Structure 1
């Protein structure tokens, strides 16, 4: 027992003192123990799960054994817990230089030549606490204990990971703010801004210069490249004589999410107020958390909720009169779930709904669900209403938050916003990068990009 205790303490000291590396510019990196025989510690660059806590180096493999005729490997940890890994899972994740390139962070395994029924023939714990495995294709690989702890896929481990990334649904109105000058001077304020968007769905930057096209400088500098689309990288929201969109009128806008007719709708949307005359009445922007609406709708109208998850809506944008005509059309459900019935994506914009083309048995049920869901959005108990003033820049998650606008039909004057978008995955990449420097990646929540994790 004394010998085992000494060995355990030695492994703990080794794991704590070993050098660590962070690889890759995008996605979270988790420090793993380095070792010359096999680059398992750098292999983690391919794994993009942002939900898992940084593994504790106090937990090392105590014993390991082959089970189930070689189909599985069992590992007992020094904290008393146990993990089981399929031999095929381990083989596909082998981090050696033959199987994985640490230079480009890409898999080298020739997948079609692996045996279909790969088995482990041996397993041992090295002096440094690493797990070395032999397979029946005459291959040997070595894994860091921290890697296997992090990616343990037992029911309890997966449940814990999923709990950590669930979207924090709106319980009360919140519009956190940072100042433009602070973001320009210190990226910690940019991190705070992006983190607030992840947590609350939206956040503000105040005191932004009201220079036209300021977004083309500020957003790429601190976040990501602007997303080009049918309205260009930058668009003006202003009243026009011949509008091509209701946003270019004084009319009230229904709750909507922008550009759902794209396969990948814009992720983060930005609205920069250049001018908003005090003489104008109305024109406030209102936000609602669609993920929160969905969860309440699931509870109050379960049958209709299922209909919106299974019967596809048609989203369309048809600009025939443009110099470069646009014909964008896509069919998909309004509410999208993963394999565990969790909401991972929402698409909503009544203004660009096209002709419903579904089996006749679904038509009546669909329109009932569609209308009840619209009422649920309009009547949702928690909204965030803001009247932007010149110098305000509001950023919000277009894959999570729907927005609307009050009409401004009374009073004279001008209301001029400029807007743009960035890709949702580019946003998350930047958020992860900054979180690695200033926070904890386990606090990052889902962003509505259809990610099953």
Structure 2
């Protein structure tokens, strides 16, 4: 719920007198009992109905005997001083609320009570949270929605100038400073702007963070409650829509952008970013002839990722190579640097020379291949840990990870529709030896047999020619691909017939995610309907 303090503190265009105050109601035992007949309790029902109309938002009491404190609304929002065509938050209108004597069953009574309960905008559910009726906004494009918010969550998200430095965006308090029993002494909706069609929830705290007095106010908009700062980021990064593709699909959907447009045209650059987000693969053409271009292309989407190969590196035939990539041999499908704790998210290969016979580049959507797995193979490949290592005189790296990393690492997703893939880890050339503890020796053998069968099933899908997109990069062309989604390979080439030289670079996934998100935010993509922002 990050909102610039200068915006939150601006005065309301409309009067803010319509308040919803948090008050503890006097304890009263539940007057309704299933054991009492409707006729015997009519008098009490009348008294109860009368009490429920004294406040705009009557308190709700559960089936048990313990009463729950209520939020008392001092206004019904029945009048409007806003333009007549502006959407308003209006309360229930109509006949006098029905009493228990008017109804014939407990079910009908509960339905009637639920209608009365949310005539106001806020009601207390307990000591730690409240149920808030969020009004209409241009992002939701729906009437109203009831959502639960925690007091700790609201206080932790406060970004007023007393809590967050407007310049550095750094917080002045720690989450651990928030009292565990923090609660509001007042909550109210105020109109901030009918131009934005947005309301603000204003909160005064009863027992605030030490060092903050009673003048401290937390303000959060309706959209920030429904769509906090993390909503669009998660939607545009981890939860972004992916288009699974095969050879035929990429033949048709391959995205090319000129170097000039990539560097200078923000609109076309943004379109290229969207293609990269969806397909994990884009191409750049008409690049000036210079070894330095790969760095310039890479830093357009994020800082260079350094490694023991250097900030940028060259892929060419080397008779003293310590990596098969630097030979002229065939290079099978793989992903780079999986032996590192944090492998690079994206890779760039800029072609400087490619006059050899052979040397075609191959690409494959590993997400698509994994999504087509049977349930048993999927389950095994999401759980079984595969070791990767880089073992040379001056460098040794090692880590283990499953072939398929899902959004939820502990749950087996049997439904194809619920398979959310975070990363694929597949690099046979750099797999390391298994380390097996004596306690797991017997059980590991059984699991290893199942893993090999599942791994073979996955490898067969990868080798399917119908999945493989192939092209030969020409000088002045560059490919950018998602390292832990798109597998890449290379056909052998003949160095006696010419020369092949590619310059490479890595960029971290976080950096590219940041670029994708901030570009859309600056372009105003998130200002519209929250569910239609991905365009």
What's the TM-score once normalised by structure 2's chain length? 0.65
How many angstroms does 1:234 deviate by?
A: 1.5
Does the residue aligned with 2:121 lie in a helix, a strand or coil? strand
Query: Which among 31, 35, 45 is matched to residue 9 of structure 2?
Result: 35
Q: Which residue of 2 aligns with 1:292?
A: 368
Q: Is 1:145 aligned with 2:214?
A: no
Q: Deviations over 1:247-275 (max 9, x none)?
A: 11222211111111111111221111111
Question: 2:432 & 2:87 partners in 1: Cα distance?
Answer: 55
Pair 252,311 (structure 1): closer, same or farther in 2 beyond 3 Å: same
Query: Which among 388, 412, 431 is matched to residue 315 of structure 1?
Result: 388
* Structure 2 segments unaligned to the other structure (5+ residues): 13-85, 91-119, 137-142, 193-198, 209-213, 414-419
**Pairs within 5 Å for 1:34-53:** 34-36=8-10
How many angstroms does 1:425 deviate by?
A: 1.3
Question: 1:126 & 1:185 partners in 2: Cα distance?
Answer: 43
Query: Which among 132, 135, 140 is matched to residue 75 of structure 1?
Result: 132
Query: Which among 246, 249, 252 is matched to residue 327 of structure 2?
Result: 249
Q: Which has the higher contact order (CA 8 A, sep 6+)?
A: 1
Does the residue aligned with 2:511 lie in a helix, a strand or coil? helix
Q: Is 1:130 aligned with 2:200?
A: yes
Question: 1:60 & 1:351 partners in 2: Cα distance?
Answer: 63
Question: 1:437 & 1:141 partners in 2: Cα distance?
Answer: 26
* Structure 1 segments unaligned to the other structure (5+ residues): 1-20, 24-30, 39-57, 446-453
Q: Deviations over 1:235-258 (max 9, x none)?
A: 111111122111112222111111
Question: 1:394 & 1:237 partners in 2: Cα distance?
Answer: 14
The size of the alignment, in residue pairs, is: 387
Q: Deviations over 1:89-113 (max 9, x none)?
A: 2122123333333322233333323
Q: Which residue of 1 aligns with 2:397?
A: 328
Pair 392,160 (structure 1): closer, same or farther in 2 beyond 3 Å: closer
How many angstroms does 1:191 deviate by?
A: 2.4
Pair 254,131 (structure 1): closer, same or farther in 2 beyond 3 Å: same
Q: Is 1:338 aligned with 2:415?
A: no
Question: 1:92 & 1:364 partners in 2: Cα distance?
Answer: 49
Contact persistence 1:61–1:131 (CA under 8 A): no
Contact persistence 2:236–2:517 (CA under 8 A): no
Q: Deviations over 1:46-86 (max 9, x none)?
A: xxxxxxxxxxxx87876532322343222222413222212
Contact persistence 2:122–2:131 (CA under 8 A): yes
Q: Which residue of 2 aligns with 1:105?
A: 169
Contact persistence 2:352–2:503 (CA under 8 A): yes
Does the residue aligned with 2:340 lie in a helix, a strand or coil? coil
Report the more deviating stretch, 368-377 or 419-428.
368-377
Q: Is 1:354 aligned with 2:432?
A: yes
Question: 2:181 & 2:3 partners in 1: Cα distance?
Answer: 34
How many angstroms does 1:178 deviate by?
A: 0.9
Q: Is 1:306 aligned with 2:280?
A: no
Find the structure with the greater CA-based Rg: 2
**Pairs within 5 Å for 1:167-316:** 167-170=242-245, 172-173=249-250, 174-220=253-299, 222-277=300-355, 280-297=356-373, 300=374, 302-316=375-389
Pair 111,186 (structure 1): closer, same or farther in 2 beyond 3 Å: closer
Contact persistence 2:8–2:220 (CA under 8 A): no
Q: Which residue of 1 aligns with 2:59?
A: none
Does the residue aligned with 1:69 lie in a helix, a strand or coil? coil
Report the more deviating stretch, 327-336 or 361-370.
361-370
Contact persistence 2:3–2:159 (CA under 8 A): no
Q: Which residue of 1 aligns with 2:18?
A: none
